[in-house]
Amino acid sequence: NAGVTQTPKFQVLKTGQSMTLQCAQDMNHNSMYWYRQDPGMGLRLIYYSASEGTTDKGEVPNGYNVSRLNKREFSLRLESAAPSQTSVYFCASSGREGRYNQPQHFGDGTRLSIL
């Protein structure tokens, strides 16, 4: 099982360039998430999607857009990259048991540097 797959693994951008980070899961999960990890800050939620066709803002949505293309795929777009968006980006997915969220499954991350 692949679980959660993120592409690319590494990317270097110049300020002002645009980029889409891809994420796909094969676990038939309804919920998908995008996080960024910065030193001393833990994982901060950028956007999430509770089901196909819905998206909601997390803690740090500014400068990002997302698309829930179908149940499997959830992409994150930087329209005009800024150095402050240099980070490691993680995609995650989770299912539900009734009203309870199951623990999230994470991809291995995309390391993004913006010069």
Binding site for another protein (CB under 8 A): 4, 31, 35, 40-45, 48, 50, 56, 58, 90, 92, 99-101, 103-109
Nearer to another protein, 12 or 41 (CB): 41
* In the complex, minimum distance from the CB of residue 61 to another protein, in angstroms, rounded to a whole number: 12
* In the complex, minimum distance from the CB of residue 80 to another protein, in angstroms, rounded to a whole number: 26
Q: Are 47 and 57 in contact (CB under 8 A)?
A: yes
Please count the helices (runs of H) and the strands (runs of E) in the chain. 0, 13
* In the complex, minimum distance from the CB of residue 91 to another protein, in angstroms, rounded to a whole number: 8
Handedness of CA 86, 52, 106, 96 (dihedral sign): positive
Q: d(Cα 113, Cα 35) in Å, to the nearest integer?
A: 16
Nearer to another protein, 56 or 79 (CB): 56
